[in-house]
């Protein structure tokens, strides 16, 4: 089975990639260079045994990156698509990485069940359609963990607003300290900014369009940061 090796050393099975991703990597051989740079900076600034939640973990790129950068990190990867989750497990084994806790739930505005529309990297939660995909919230995740969450990374194809709406209590209690959110339309980007600002979070960086990747980025935090 062919393997694609990124410039940071992460390996993934090539058949797990989309053709447009292969074309993008031919120009810059990192998944999303701007987003990765922010994650590196944040993770490098954290104290011992940081807790990271990867919402929309897909085939595991960022969860693996965090464990490579910080072998002491507690990483929780949320990926509701069974095929993507299986790919994640295969890639984790390929890289000989341990300590990633994989969860089958989607993350949304309220707990329950829903349907997914689309496939693979572009699959998205449709909360108004009945289905059998379990849905949790960041409030529930934060309550279930014994420690504050040092970084939440979100990349869920338009579901980011609902994910933030399901984090109201944890955001108010400052249990979610740093955020890197991929946004998938200008309107969604603006709504996410509004939600962060309503919770008095500091916007560290934001851009609707980012060179070298298909979506926008918001980097936010509960207070002043020196990444």
Map tokens 């909360």 to a residue: 127
Radius of gyration over every alpha carbon of the chain, rounded to an integer in angstroms:
16
- Give me the pLDDT at residue 126, please: 53
What's CA 73's distance to the chain center, in Å? 15
- Give me the pLDDT at residue 154, please: 98
Q: Can you spell out the DSSP letters for 189-215?
A: HHHHHHHHHHTT-EEEEEESS-TTSSS
- Give me the pLDDT at residue 119, please: 59
Structurally, at CATH architecture level, domain 30-221 sits in 3-Layer(aba) Sandwich (3.40)
For residue 195, which of 173, 162, 225 has the smallest C-alpha distance?
Answer: 162
Instruction: Dump pLDDT digits (tens) for 144-174.
Output: 998 999 999 999 988 999 999 999 999 999 9
Which residues, given as ranges, of the chain have pLDDT below 50? Answer: none
- Give me the pLDDT at residue 168, please: 97
Q: Can you spell out the DSSP letters for 175-188?
A: -B-EEEEEE-SHHH
- Give me the pLDDT at residue 117, please: 65
Domain spans in the chain, listed from the N-terminal domain onward: 30-221
Spatial contact of 85 and 28, defined as CB atoms under 8 Å apart: no
């Amino acid at each position: 089975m062919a393997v694609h090796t990124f410039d940071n050393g992460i390996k993934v099975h090539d058949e797990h990639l989309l053709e447009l991703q292969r074309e993008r990597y031919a120009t810059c051989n990192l998944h999303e260079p701007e987003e990765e740079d922010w994650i590196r900076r944040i993770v490098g600034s954290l104290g011992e045994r940081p807790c990271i939640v990867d919402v929309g973990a897909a085939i595991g790129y960022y969860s693996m990156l965090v464990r490579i950068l910080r072998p002491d990190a507690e990483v929780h990867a949320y990926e509701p698509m069974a095929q993507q989750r299986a790919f994640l497990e295969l890639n984790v084994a390929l890289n000989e990485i341990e300590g990633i806790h994989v969860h089958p739930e989607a993350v949304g505005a309220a707990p329950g069940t829903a349907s997914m529309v689309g496939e693979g990297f572009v699959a998205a939660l449709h909360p108004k359609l009945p289905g059998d995909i379990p849905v949790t919230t960041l409030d529930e995740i934060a309550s279930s963990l014994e420690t504050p969450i040092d970084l939440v990374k979100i990349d869920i194809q338009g579901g980011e607003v609902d994910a933030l709406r399901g984090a109201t209590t944890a955001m108010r209690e400052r249990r979610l300290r740093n955020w890197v959110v991929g946004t998938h339309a200008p309107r969604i980007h603006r709504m996410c900014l509004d939600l962060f600002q309503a919770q008095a979070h500091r916007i560290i960086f934001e851009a609707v369009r980012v060179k070298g990747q298909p979506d926008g980025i918001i980097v936010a935090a509960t207070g002043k940061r020196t990444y």
